[in-house]
């Protein structure tokens, strides 16, 4: 298969007219859900139910239902938190950073990736809150004037986390919503159902596609992208501070912030590709979410995968170079200790398999890329597992070493988190336009005035 990389590939294929774009994108919303959709929804909501039952058990009997105990005090709860926060990062990267870099191809995948960001952050946010054991007291995490006269400790990385994750969620939600407003207006003018029209009218806020509005809208969108770009980099950096500011060997390293951000983008793109492979097929959007888009995302997966690989290597180098006995032990223990199986799963899934993306055939083959991105998802989950569990289980004092074994409740909650995420994704795919209608129209062939290349006339 020959691909010409010397010219930019068309963002929208098949020479679609604007009305056709409208029809393709709004069709999944207007049609009744099919059998396959209902099957997928019932599977994901069953997972969600299993997770909900396990969370209920945890709340009733306490966090003792989980496998974590001394010395591994942080286990699945925090592994899942970091994993899901990471998944979210691809969405913001696509919607903000690629927007600032004027990557037009982002329009096809941005809306879906942003939605995944929001759902992933929602899923992630649950974990630290459940981990506290009494989530109904989560309000204590925010600084508010209380009867104890106490304030949260603004020096603590855990409080930074609260600020970072809640800001990230709020800004992502606003960014997503502001992008949806024109699409709600389009849907409002398209629908014939009175109930739908009322709902769309409420959410579109009476948007009129007025150019006097578009002018500010575009500016505001750029500002939000500008704000989100450092935000997305800060969020996983701050998550990494939870570990890096401690003195535990294996956690106490300065490489963590960039390493975590690269890993987050890596895993996030893998998840986006995993989901989009199905979406473009099921909803007949192969002309809008094209193979070129997937290929570009695979290239990013390849690049970030190598960054992560570099970080793995550098951790070993620094452990040796620092001359700290404990640090050296942790890394030897990681690779050859009782959790070596997790370490080598991580290395092979994250570093070795993505190398196949050097081959154009594999990069452009949907089944091949699907297998690789699933492996990347698995590998990135194990990366967090390795960082947390293998560092904690054997620290300074051999007398306090121990092993971590997950319980059924642990596994049930992990399954439930996937259930929650995919249930939300499925509901989103059927209720909102999965691709931004107005943005796709703006990059469709022939949609811009022909003097477009001549701005200084």
Partner 1 sequence: MNENKNLYGVTALFDSANEIIHAAKEVEKAGYKNFDVNTPYPVHGMDRAMGLKRSTVGFFTLFFGFSGTAFILLFAYWTMSVNYPMVIGGKPFFALPSFIPVTFETTVLLGGIATVVGILAVFFNLPSNNHPLHDTDYMCSVSNDKYGIVIEAEDPKFNENEVTELLKRLGAKKIHTVMNPGKESFPIFEGRFVVFLILVVLVVCGGTYFTLNKVLYLEPFDWMLEQDKLIPQEKSTIFTDNKGMRTTIEGTVARGYLPYPFKGQTIPTETLANPLLPTKKVLEFGKGKFLTFCSPCHGNYADGDSRLHGQFPNPPTLHSARAREFGDGMIYHIIVNGQNTMPSYETQTTSEERWAIINYIRALQRAKNAKLTDLQEVQKELGVNVK
DSSP letter string, 151-196: ---TT-HHHHHHHHHHHHHHHHHHHHHHHHHHHHHHHHHH---HHH
184 with 204: CB under 8 angstroms? yes
Nearer to partner 1, 35 or 455 (CB): 455
Nearer to partner 1, 120 or 185 (CB): 185
The binder of partner 1 chosen from 41, 43, 59, 158 (CB under 8 A): 59
**Site pattern 368..407 for partner 1 (x: CB under 8 A):** ----------------------------------------
Please state the closest distance from residue 18 (CB atom) to partner 1, in A: 3
The binder of partner 1 chosen from 164, 271, 369, 392 (CB under 8 A): 164
Is position 238 an interface residue for partner 1 (rule: CB under 8 A)? yes
Count of alpha carbons within 13 angstroms of residue 216, beta-carbon side: 5
Nearer to partner 1, 36 or 134 (CB): 134
Nearer to partner 1, 399 or 450 (CB): 450
Tell me the window of 40-48, 78-86, 165-173, 422-430 that interacts with partner 1 (CB under 8 A). Answer: 165-173
Please state the closest distance from residue 390 (CB atom) to partner 1, in A: 26
Nearer to partner 1, 139 or 446 (CB): 446
Is position 432 an interface residue for partner 1 (rule: CB under 8 A)? no
User: If you ran DSSP here, which 8-state letter would residue 390 be given?
Assistant: I
Nearer to partner 1, 217 or 260 (CB): 217
Q: Which of residues 39-58 bind partner 1 (CB under 8 A)?
A: none
Is position 450 an interface residue for partner 1 (rule: CB under 8 A)? yes
Find how far residue 292's CA is from the centre of its chain.
21
Provide the angle, in degrees to the nearest 10, between the axes of the packed helices 211-244 and 76-92: 150
Nearer to partner 1, 28 or 379 (CB): 28
**Site pattern 178..197 for partner 1 (x: CB under 8 A):** x--xx--xx-xxx-------
Find how far residue 120's CA is from the centre of its chain.
6
3-state secondary structure 110-164: HHHHHHHHHHHHHHHHHHHHHHCCCHHHHHHHCCCCCCCCCCCCCCCHHHHHHHH
CA 394 – CA 195 distance, rounded (Å) = 60
Count of alpha carbons within 13 angstroms of residue 394, beta-carbon side: 16
The binder of partner 1 chosen from 9, 10, 13, 18 (CB under 8 A): 18
Nearer to partner 1, 119 or 168 (CB): 168
Tell me the window of 286-294, 381-389, 414-422, 445-453 that interacts with partner 1 (CB under 8 A). Answer: 445-453
Tokens 């070493």 sit on residue: 401
The binder of partner 1 chosen from 143, 158, 337, 418 (CB under 8 A): 143
CA 368 – CA 358 distance, rounded (Å) = 13
State the maximum Cα–Cα separation within the chain, in Å, rounded to a whole number: 77
Is position 258 an interface residue for partner 1 (rule: CB under 8 A)? no
Please state the closest distance from residue 67 (CB atom) to partner 1, in A: 20
CB-CB neighbours of 326 under 10 Å: 16
- Residues in Cβ contact with 247 at an 8 Å cutoff, skipping those fewer than 6 apart: none
The binder of partner 1 chosen from 81, 217, 331, 353 (CB under 8 A): 217
CA 154 – CA 163 distance, rounded (Å) = 10
Please state the closest distance from residue 58 (CB atom) to partner 1, in A: 10
Please state the closest distance from residue 30 (CB atom) to partner 1, in A: 14
The binder of partner 1 chosen from 27, 36, 134, 281 (CB under 8 A): 134
Asked if omega into 83 is within 30° of 0 (cis), the reply is no
The binder of partner 1 chosen from 63, 159, 248, 306 (CB under 8 A): 159
The binder of partner 1 chosen from 1, 154, 195, 397 (CB under 8 A): 154
Is position 219 an interface residue for partner 1 (rule: CB under 8 A)? yes
- Residues in Cβ contact with 195 at an 8 Å cutoff, skipping those fewer than 6 apart: none
User: If you ran DSSP here, which 8-state letter would residue 32 be given?
Assistant: P
267 with 375: CB under 8 angstroms? no
CA 297 – CA 354 distance, rounded (Å) = 12
Is position 254 an interface residue for partner 1 (rule: CB under 8 A)? no
């Amino acid at each position: 298969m020959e691909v010409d990389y010397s010219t930019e590939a068309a963002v929208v294929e098949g020479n679609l007219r604007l009305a056709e774009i409208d029809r393709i994108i709004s069709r999944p919303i207007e049609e009744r859900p099919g059998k396959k959709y209902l099957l997928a929804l019932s599977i994901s909501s069953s997972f969600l139910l299993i997770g909900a039952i396990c969370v209920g058990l945890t709340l009733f009997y306490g966090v003792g239902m989980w496998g974590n105990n001394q010395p591994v005090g942080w286990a699945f709860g925090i592994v899942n938190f970091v994993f899901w926060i990471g998944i979210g990062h691809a969405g913001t990267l696509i919607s903000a950073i690629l927007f600032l870099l004027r990557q037009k191809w982002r329009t096809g995948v941005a809306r879906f990736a942003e939605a995944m960001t929001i759902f992933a952050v929602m899923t992630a946010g649950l974990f630290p809150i459940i981990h506290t054991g009494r989530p109904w007291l989560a309000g204590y995490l925010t600084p508010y004037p209380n009867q104890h006269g106490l304030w949260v400790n603004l020096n603590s990385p855990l409080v930074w986390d609260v600020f970072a994750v809640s800001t990230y969620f709020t800004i992502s939600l606003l960014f997503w919503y502001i992008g949806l407003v024109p699409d709600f207006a389009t849907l409002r003018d398209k629908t014939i159902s009175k109930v739908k029209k009322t709902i769309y009218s409420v959410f579109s806020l009476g948007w009129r596609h007025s150019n006097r509005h578009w002018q500010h809208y575009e500016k505001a969108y750029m500002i939000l992208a500008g704000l989100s770009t450092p935000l997305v980099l800060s969020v996983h950096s701050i998550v990494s501070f939870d570990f890096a500011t401690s003195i535990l060997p294996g956690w106490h390293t300065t490489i963590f912030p960039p390493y975590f951000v690269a890993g987050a983008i890596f895993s996030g793109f893998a998840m986006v590709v995993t989901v989009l492979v199905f979406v473009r097929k099921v909803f007949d959007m192969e002309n809008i979410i094209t193979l070129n888009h997937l290929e570009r995302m695979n290239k990013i997966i390849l690049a970030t995968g190598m960054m992560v690989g570099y970080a793995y290597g550098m951790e070993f180098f620094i452990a040796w170079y620092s001359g700290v006995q404990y640090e050296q032990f942790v890394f030897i223990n990681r690779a050859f200790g009782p959790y070596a199986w997790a370490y080598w799963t991580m290395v092979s899934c994250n570093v070795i398999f993505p190398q196949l993306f050097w081959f154009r055939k594999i990069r452009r083959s949907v089944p091949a890329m699907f297998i690789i991105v699933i492996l990347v998802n698995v590998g990135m989950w194990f990366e967090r597992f390795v960082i947390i569990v293998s560092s904690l289980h054997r620290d300074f004092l051999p007398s306090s070493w121990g092993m971590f074994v997950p319980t059924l409740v642990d596994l049930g909650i992990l399954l439930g988190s996937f259930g929650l995420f995919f249930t939300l994704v499925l509901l989103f795919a059927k209720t909102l336009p999965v691709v931004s209608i107005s943005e796709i129209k703006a990059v469709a062939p022939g949609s811009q005035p022909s003097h477009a290349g001549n701005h200084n006339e």
